[in-house]
A and B are shown apart, each in its own frame.
Chain A
Amino acid sequence: MREEILRISGVNPSKCMKCGKCTATCPAFEKMEYHPHQFVDMVKNNQISPLLESESLYCCMTCLACEERCPRGVKPQKLIEAVQVIKLRASGANRLKPQDVAERLDPSLPQQALMAAFRKYSR
């Protein structure tokens, strides 16, 4: 599974120098059990099961601050997305189901929010 994550994300976690800048800049920091630098470290060390089970997978807002500010060009967001994608591709693992969004359909919610949420939270 580690190989699959590295392949689809194109990330090389060995480049990380553990400076923690990605985590320090992450706006979803307080919501996460595992932080961006931990994703990088844990994937590197093949500790993927806890990540797959963690709510942290759904906290990332894809703001790309971690990617922009990483001094080593690691792209932690891609790694988080890869673990999330692997989880969601397993059948029946959809996080968001059409019936769940009914109550969120307030008249001003832009279409792009629903498109993006379905792309991010289901397959």
Chain B
Amino acid sequence: MVYSYYPGCTLKAKAKKLDRYARECAHILEIELEEIENWQCCGGVYPGMADELATRLSPVRALREAGEKKQDLVTVCSACHHVLKRVNEDMKTSGEIRQKINAYLEPENGYEGETKVIHYLELLRDRIGFDRIKEKVKHPLNGKKIAPYYGCLLLRPFQVMNFDDPENPSIMEEFLLAIGAQPVHYALKNECCGGYVTVEDEKFASEKSSSIMEAAMDQGAKGMITACPLCKYNLENGGLKEDIPVYYFTELLAEALGVKEQEEGT
């Protein structure tokens, strides 16, 4: 099955592992990811105000390209996923936004939010199936205790994201079980890491992320997974005396599928 694929800026630079392992694992799982040709940065945050049109253009261009190929659009980064999904919803539900953006882009070939945006985790769960992934695992993680960290952007607002139960999600737990790890249950898995506020007030963001990591460690976690480069950055910058490694979920998938050489201690 062929999908359109939107990597996003951070995956081309600071988060290359998130991207590389997503592609390599897709290959093993017999999924073809076709990168959108002329994608541009999603903008990093969803433009929430109804009169912000320019900031919605680049997501719409990517959505439309996938739509023209009649492919679902797969994203990996939580932030890109959030922005693309919400702008897509605007194109579907807001007549005013749809009309103005289409008038600017290409009036004769209007886009109306037809593309389905799916996160890589949803691809694993709904299109491939965790059972199938389990069968493909070569190096199971041997019950390693990993804390799933969801953060905000994948889950909220549920009305639009419709990704998983926003207060008690389980997709990452199911994923961890499929690759042979033991998911750790802890309280703060869907609380905020501090996000972009780290640029404005680094200390405050560190406090937020360190309390999340501490909660995970208190429950015995030996590592954490995330889908978001900024969550990873904040968690790693929490400044705890003792901390645990933070992995992209694709990294552990790659390890389990035998794509990634098994490294000491991971």
Contact = CB atoms under 8 A, between A and B. Distances in A.
Contacts of A62: 45-46, 152, 195-196
Given A65-B152, A101-B199, A119-B43, A8 B49 contact: yes
Contact of A27 (B50, B155, B191, B200): B191
Contact of B48 (A27, A65, A78, A114): A78
A95 B200 CA distance: 9
Nearest to B204: A31
B14 interface: yes
A82 B204 CA distance: 23
Contact of B199 (A63, A64, A81, A114): A114
B59 to A, nearest CB: 13
Interface in B187-206: 191-192, 194-202, 204
Contacts, number: 126
A63 B192 contact: yes
Interface string B1-32: 00000001110011100000000000000000
A64 B152 CA distance: 7
Contacts of A114: 44, 199
Interface in A93-117: 95-96, 101, 104, 108-117
Chain B interface main SS type:
loop
A112 B202 contact: no
B102 interface: no
Nearest to B229: A110
A116 B156 contact: no
Considering residues B41, B48, B152, which has the most beta carbons from chain A within 10 angstroms of its beta carbon?
B48
A49 B198 CA distance: 27
Contacts of A111: 9-10, 13-14, 41, 44
B230 to A, nearest CB: 5
Contact of A115 (B43, B166, B197, B204): B43
Given A64-B152, A115-B44, A120-B196, A110 B10 contact: yes
Nearest to B156: A64
A110 B166 contact: no
Contacts of A33: none
B233 interface: yes
Interface in B208-258: 208, 229-230, 232-233, 236
A67 to B, nearest CB: 5
Given A27-B208, A110-B233, A116 B196 contact: yes
Contacts of B229: 110, 112
A96 to B, nearest CB: 7
A57 to B, nearest CB: 11
Interface of B: 8-10, 13-15, 41, 43-51, 55, 77, 79, 152, 155-158, 166-167, 191-192, 194-202, 204, 208, 229-230, 232-233, 236
Interface of A: 7-10, 27-28, 31, 58-59, 61-65, 67-68, 77-78, 81-82, 85, 95-96, 101, 104, 108-117, 119-121
Given A109-B199, A111-B13, A117-B199, 17 more contacts: A28-B204, A59-B197, A61-B194, A61-B196, A63-B152, A63-B191, A68-B167, A81-B48, A112-B10, A112-B44, A112-B79, A112-B229, A113-B230, A115-B43, A115-B45, A116-B230, A120-B45
21 contacts: A8-B51, A31-B201, A58-B200, A61-B208, A63-B156, A64-B156, A78-B48, A82-B49, A101-B199, A104-B202, A108-B14, A108-B233, A109-B14, A109-B198, A111-B41, A112-B10, A112-B79, A113-B44, A116-B79, A116-B196, A121-B200
